[in-house]
Amino acid sequence: MNAKTILAVAALPFAAGCLSNVADFRDTVAEAKQSVFPSLVYISVVSESGSDGKIEKTQGSGSGVIASEKGEVLTNHHVIDRAARIRCQLTDGSSYEAKVVGSDKDLDVALLQLQAPEGTKFPAAKLTERKPEVGEVVLAMGAPWGLARSVSMGIVSCNDRYLENCGDYTLWYQTDAAISPGNSGGPLVDTHGYVVGLNARGNTRGAQGFTIPSPIILQVLPNLREYGDAHWAWLGIDWQPLRDFSKEAFFDAPDGVIVAGTDPQGPARAAGLEPNDRVIAVDGRSVTAKFREDIPALNRSLALSGWDRPLRLDYVRGSVTNSVAVKPAAKGATQGREAEFKRWGLTAKDINRFETPDLAFQAPDGGVYVSSLAWEGNADSAGFKRRDIIRKWDGQDVKSVDDLEKIYKAAVADVARKSRANVDILRGGRPARIVIDYRNDPEKDD
């Protein structure tokens, strides 16, 4: 037997073993895919938003996964945000209208209900509390680019990724499984056939994507069902970890978490907490956030504590330890309601301290701002600009879009007699008055 023959024979067991392992792995992937694939949902959405002085409809799509036999579907908030109509197609080709049961912008999670005949049972996937390991193989399922029923494969490249200004309450799973536009809301699945999270953020190249962990979704799911939102309690505190490499901020302290700032209208400011206070305990339980990756868990713990009673915060200011009672408030809506005022040629939106904090600073008691203008419409011609805060309309206080709708209805009904109004606004924090003439009817001009 020559050397070439010996090498070839020696290689046979190794090659056979490799082929066997590949086949076994393929079976594992196929089984995992089959466990969740029937629960995959392609979601088509007609949404509404203000543009060019009117509420316009746009078409979009995303993904979801059936989470219960009765037809509950989990997806991202941004997939169904401002939805006027939601249609869902399952992998067997059947389709259903869907209604929003609950939604949370902070976590970017939404719960839908398929509108099916009573008693209809659907194939449901199972979410797991288990945290996947770095390097673990996962499957991303969904409808990238509107192409339904797609599966990509990769690994978990990080299982505790912190994203600045993107999720106050969660760390993320990072994966190189392709997550492209349209994959949003689809499940990330482990090789055991369990959903480990909802895909939420990707890019057009699909290089790295980010997933909302299932354990956090399971924490807020009961609140989405009961209240229609995550039901967060709110203290109005921004936290700073003890060691923040990115900001070169390092505090010489063994424990606790630093108050970076407090919301002017928040409970913490009212209770007397100040920037640079170091909170060391909440209701007698020690708290520490050494790194920024520790902040989301702290936020989530406080936000799910409820607001039926004050929380006792022990803190250090200088060299003195103090305690203060902070009664959480309901966080409430994180974006304002928007409406169209066609005769005036504008859309207006409620000021929201989370969505438009700069406007909320100018108008701490709330109010309404111009969100879009019709080109050469009555409001545009009068001199209105986007983000003008409307304080009074012909002497009537405007505190909400509801108030403005009542004023508008009366003004349009009386337009034959009176077609001019004095409007008090704030622009860049400075008061001004605009006179609008709305005798021109845009519907007749069209």
What residues are annotated to the active site? 78, 108, 184
Q: Which residues partner with 212 through β-bridges?
A: 198
Q: Which residues partner with 437 through β-bridges?
A: 420
Smallest Cα–Cα separation from 111: which of 98, 96, 121, 101?
101
Q: For the chain, give the longest Cα–Cα distance.
A: 110
299: three-class secondary structure by DSSP: helix
Distance CA 288, CA 278 (A): 10
Amino acid at 367: G
Measure CA of the first residue to CA of the last residue in the chain; give whole Å.
92
Both tokens of 119, joined, read 């008693």
Both tokens of 285, joined, read 């339980």
Per-residue DSSP letters for 203-254? -TT-S-EEEEEHHHHHHHHHHHHHHSS---EE--EEEE-SEETTTTEE---S
Smallest Cα–Cα separation from 231: which of 301, 330, 310?
330
Smallest Cα–Cα separation from 129: which of 70, 211, 207, 216?
216
Distance CA 300, CA 394 (A): 44
Residue 39: burial class (beta carbons within 10 Å; 0-12, 13-18, 19+) = buried
Task: Give the other-Cβ count within 10 Å of 250's Cβ.
Answer: 11
Pairing label, strands 209-213, 233-234: unpaired
Do the Cβ atoms of 168 and 129 come closer than 8 Å?
no
Do the Cβ atoms of 415 and 438 come closer than 8 Å?
yes
Residues 217/218/223/224 CA torsion (nearest 10 deg): 50
Distance CA 179, CA 144 (A): 7
